[in-house]
Amino acid sequence: MRDMEALYRATIEKWGEQAQYDQAAEECAELIVALKHYRRGKADREAVIAELADMQLMLGQLSWMFGEDEVRRAVQEKLAKLDGLLG
């Protein structure tokens, strides 16, 4: 299997950035539905895990597209803010 960067690059070459933005939004929606169903007992853990995996792949691709270092930096800022809120 190709490394992640090669997969991300091939995905963009095949479908384009705009399609991947749409795909990311779709995967977010599917995760939302899976979580709502899980909460009501209409979906099992495996359904949520499958959607989490899809979302994680899209997040990886979007991070690569927008700049992994910048995303990491933003995550660190958010973690510091959360830590401050927790006291």
Using CA atoms of 20, 21, 23, 27 in order, give the dihedral in degrees to the nearest 10: 130
Per-residue pLDDT at 2: 78
Mean pLDDT by 10 residues, the chain (87 residues): 91 97 98 98 98 97 97 98 97
Helices (H), the chain: 4-15, 17-39, 45-66, 68-86
DSSP conformation class of 3: -
Q: Name the pTM for this structure.
A: 0.89
